[in-house]
A and B are shown apart, each in its own frame.
Chain A
């Protein structure tokens, strides 16, 4: 099997702070093919955004220390010169952010902000860039694009701003789009529109998408594959059907049990994952999830505390947990029976 279009191998991102070294991402591997969407889920602080920023080289090199391998179309991005990264960003790999209001410059018109990416990477004229901006606004479904192109972000609604962000990210037809919680700041109805838009655009352009979210519902509807992250590591990986249908990791169970959904039995309360996300300076020994896990006793005495489980098997549906497969299937069966999680 050839390397995927984006291949991240054994990525670590450490931040050196006054309090100690923050291990934000610790040995993460992932791959995304063109035309597919990888959903990355996990709590706040699980390293999702840090990973995304690392792929685009947006971390401050003085505070963030990266190691491992990030191959985009076979090209190593870690340690690439700044000028190379500046040419890749916005052209081959683009990103959209969570809050479209603060992520757009309040001082420049929407058209300028879209057009300048195009000019920067294609050397197009001002007029051509403006035409392109209008074209992109049309594609993302902004009404009256010829008029709205001269508006400022504050004159747009939240959903329109995110559409403009998407237009800006896609103006150079990037091969990779990283969407960092693109719908978190939006109304639910607008969320669905934005996700539909992303899916439609992907069908037209064949872009690879990394969709970062903490919303499993979004993943279920949009992604092809899922990566569940905890404390900077991948704890479960597989297709949407595998991970959401046959979840193997106790953390994934926890996420599923804490997620409200329509049609769920009203008499079963939502169950949050107990405890708080771990400190990334003093990551718990062994399996970082063991202090919050309900099942360490079933894995063998002291095993979860002592030994860090690796993600296995190597390909396909894998998880990082010491429990045996039979045991996991048994527990999932019980949870489904208790209607705490719905497959």
Chain B
């Protein structure tokens, strides 16, 4: 286990450095100039040069990247803005706020959104998938299959906008989506996020239903499930102890990937509901050419996916005794 974690952590760090480098150099392949944006509409050449120097953009690209990278581990000194302690992700080009703090500020929004939605879609998706698999070919299965196909085809901005209009603005059934810290007021936290949770869950539930159903149908046809029935095990224990166990592996795999991706930023959901999470932050960073913020959001997103992948791989060993961590 320790060897596994060491090896995977090392791999993760290397991957993140590569991803950061690619993002960094791609940024400069785009013709947008952050110095010009920072300088304003009327910008004489000497002011532009000054802005460029302030943002550190007058340095060679490679030196800029290594300085950024070193800042994460060792902190970094900025002339005008003082010392930025490790882990330093720099200051925003746009509002000069320390990026690390901005990330810490936005992360709870995205995490709350993700966890709440994950609870909903995992529970409903797996449950309906099992029901459909056990009723394979019957009307119930067909109803579930068709509705999950519809759910899968829906788009968040479409359902979200409709829900906002009818449930919030027209009829005031639900509160306007907003983020209130859980530690402050758990009820307000849940009330403010319930609509994004449900809307985000519609699409994911559909996916989990389809996946659980197909894997479960496959598992129910396995030889060892037949053996369990030949031993006289009751229908329920055959389903839960044998068939579901095999289905878990698939569900956990996809769940890990989805969680990572969602933490990285549910861009469309956050934009639709006006939530100030990481997704929103990253899309704004792109439009504002805000390199430090962009680098940080990419780092968090990639990091989340990598971490959840490691967790999933470690979980395999618990779910399936044939898997050895090595």
Chain A positions near chain B (C-beta within 8 angstroms): 56, 58, 62, 82, 86-91, 94-95, 97, 99, 102-108, 116-117, 120-121, 152, 154, 165, 168
Interface of A is mostly: mixed
Q: How far is the CB of B151 from chain A (nearest CB, A)?
A: 27
> Does A91 lie within 8 Å of B232, measured CB to CB?
yes
> Does B235 lie within 8 Å of A82, measured CB to CB?
yes
Q: How far is the CB of B316 from chain A (nearest CB, A)?
A: 12
> Does B321 lie within 8 Å of A107, measured CB to CB?
yes
Residues of A contacting B231 with CB < 8 Å? 89-90, 94, 116-117, 120, 168
A-B contacts counted at CB < 8 A amount to 70
How many residues of chain B are within 8 Å of chain A by beta carbon? 22
> Does B321 lie within 8 Å of A103, measured CB to CB?
no
> Does A97 lie within 8 Å of B223, measured CB to CB?
yes
> Does A90 lie within 8 Å of B322, measured CB to CB?
no
> Does B232 lie within 8 Å of A105, measured CB to CB?
no
Query: Is B230 engaged at the interface, CB distance under 8 Å to the other chain?
Result: yes
Chain B positions near chain A (C-beta within 8 angstroms): 137, 222-224, 226-235, 241-242, 245-246, 319-322
Chain A residue at minimal CB-CB distance from B242:
A105
CA distance A163 to B322 in the complex (A): 20
CA distance A82 to B235 in the complex (A): 9
Q: How far is the CB of A52 from chain B (nearest CB, A)?
A: 10
Q: Which of A58, A95, A105, A117 has the most CB of B within 10 A?
A: A105
- 27 contacting pairs across A/B (C-beta < 8 A): A58-B226, A58-B230, A62-B137, A86-B232, A86-B234, A89-B230, A90-B230, A90-B231, A91-B232, A97-B223, A97-B227, A102-B222, A102-B223, A103-B224, A103-B226, A104-B227, A105-B224, A105-B227, A105-B228, A106-B320, A107-B245, A107-B320, A107-B321, A116-B231, A117-B231, A120-B232, A152-B322
Q: How far is the CB of B249 from chain A (nearest CB, A)?
A: 9
Residues of B contacting A90 with CB < 8 Å? 230-233
User: Given the known A-B contacts A82-B235, A105-B224, are A95 and B245 also in contact in the complex, defined by CB atoms under 8 Å?
Assistant: no
Chain A residue at minimal CB-CB distance from B137:
A62
User: Given the known A-B contacts A62-B137, A152-B322, A154-B322, are A104 and B232 also in contact in the complex, defined by CB atoms under 8 Å?
Assistant: no
